[in-house]
Amino acid sequence: MTVENALPQGPGNSAWEVGTGHIIRGEFGYRLPKKILNSIFQPYGAFTWKNFEALDQASLQYDAGVNWLIHGHNMKWTLQYSTRPVYNLVNEKNVVTGYQREVILQTQIYF
């Protein structure tokens, strides 16, 4: 990738996370009350609105997923779906030209 066609936020799944300006983030989740096979499920969702001085257009990002807690909180699997704004230089301005989707699977083990 050359400098001329590089994305302003960087390669891969890089995204603007910090900067001078405003950011609003909201998260919500609900731990389901019933245990299934000694496990607990917790669906959740989140949104992030960003309006940074370095960017010429604000963006909105959504996340949704579920945590699977096994044996209390000794092991956790998380499956998450996210949207991510992609910024490009258009007429010398950093604007959102589309959104990329990503699916994340992660685990955490506590000894």
- The domain tally of the chain equals 1
Greater pLDDT, 7 or 68 = 68
Q: What's the token pair of residue 91? A: 């007429």
Whether residue 15 lies inside any domain: the answer is: no
Position 19 in a domain: no
Residue for token pair 């997923």 = 65
Tens of pLDDT, residues 46-104: 999 999 888 888 999 999 999 999 887 789 999 999 998 888 888 888 888 888 899 99
Nearest to 63 by CA among 33, 24, 34, 104: 104
pTM above 0.85, yes or no: no
Structural domain including 99 reads 3-8+24-109
pLDDT of residue 10: 63
Q: What does the pLDDT read at residue 1?
A: 47
Residue 16 falls inside a structural domain: no
Instruction: Look at residue 102 and tell me if it is in a domain.
Output: yes
Does residue 36 carry a pLDDT above 60? yes
47 CB-near residues (< 8 Å, 6+ apart): 25, 26, 60, 61, 62, 63
